[in-house]
A and B are shown apart, each in its own frame.
Chain A
Amino acid sequence: MSEEMDMDEGGTVKKFMFVNRKAPYGTIYALEGLEVVLISAAFDQDVSLAFLDDGVYELVKGQNTKAVEMKNFSSTYRALEGYDIEKLYVERESLEVRGLNEDDLLVDVQVLSAAEMGEMMAAQDVVISF
Chain B
Amino acid sequence: MALEVNGKTYETDEEGFLLNLNEWNEDVAKALAQGENIDMTENHWEVINFLRDYYNEYQIAPAVRVLTKAIGKKLGPEKGNSKYLYDLFPFGPGKQACKIAGLPKPTGCI
List residues of chain A with CB under 8 Å of any chain B CB: 35, 38-39, 41-42, 71-73, 75-76, 78-79, 82-83
Q: How far is the CB of A84 from chain B (nearest CB, A)?
A: 9
Most A CB contacts (10 A, CB to CB) among B59, B62, B65 go to B59
Nearest CB on B from A80, distance (A): 9
* Residue from A42, A71, A76 in contact with B63 in the complex, judged by beta carbons closer than 8 Å: A42
19 other A-B residue contacts (CB within 8 Å) besides A38-B63, A79-B62: A35-B107, A38-B107, A39-B107, A41-B66, A42-B65, A71-B59, A73-B59, A73-B60, A75-B57, A75-B58, A75-B59, A76-B58, A76-B59, A78-B57, A78-B58, A79-B66, A82-B66, A82-B69, A83-B66
Q: How distant is the Cα of A102 from the Cα of B3 in the complex, in angstroms? A: 47
Count of CB-CB pairs between chains A and B under 8 Å? 36
Residues of B close to A75: CB separation below 8 A: 57-59
| In the complex, chain B residues 28-64 whose Cβ is within 8 Å of any chain A Cβ | 57-60, 62-63
Query: A83 vs B63: C-alpha distance in the bound complex, in angstroms?
Result: 8
Q: A35-B107, A82-B70 are in contact. Are A41 and B59 (CB under 8 A)?
A: no
Task: List 14 A-B pairs, Cβ < 8 Å.
Answer: A35-B107, A38-B107, A39-B107, A42-B65, A42-B108, A75-B59, A76-B58, A78-B57, A79-B57, A79-B58, A79-B62, A79-B66, A82-B62, A83-B66
Give the top 8 A-B pairs by smallest Cβ distance, nearest first. A39-B108, A79-B58, A38-B107, A82-B66, A76-B59, A76-B60, A75-B59, A35-B107
CB-CB contacts of B58-102 with A at 8 A, as 1s and 0s?
Answer: 111011011001100000000000000000000000000000000
- Give the residue among A41, A78, A79 with the most B Cβ atoms within 10 A: A79
Nearest Cβ distance between residue B108 and chain A, in whole angstroms? Answer: 4
Q: Which residue of A lies closest to B63 (CB)?
A: A42
Residues of B within 8 Å of A39, CB to CB, are 107-108
| Least Cβ–Cβ distance between B57 and chain A, in angstroms | 7
Q: Give the distance in Å from the alpha carbon of A83 to the alpha carbon of B106 in the complex.
A: 13
Chain A nearest CB, measured from B40 CB (Å): 26
Q: How far is the CA of A41 from the CA of B70 in the complex (A)?
A: 15
Compute how far the CA of A78 lies from the CA of B57 in the bound complex, rounded to whole angstroms. 9
Cβ of B63 and Cβ of A41 under 8 Å apart? yes
What A residues does B69 contact at CB under 8 A?
Answer: 82
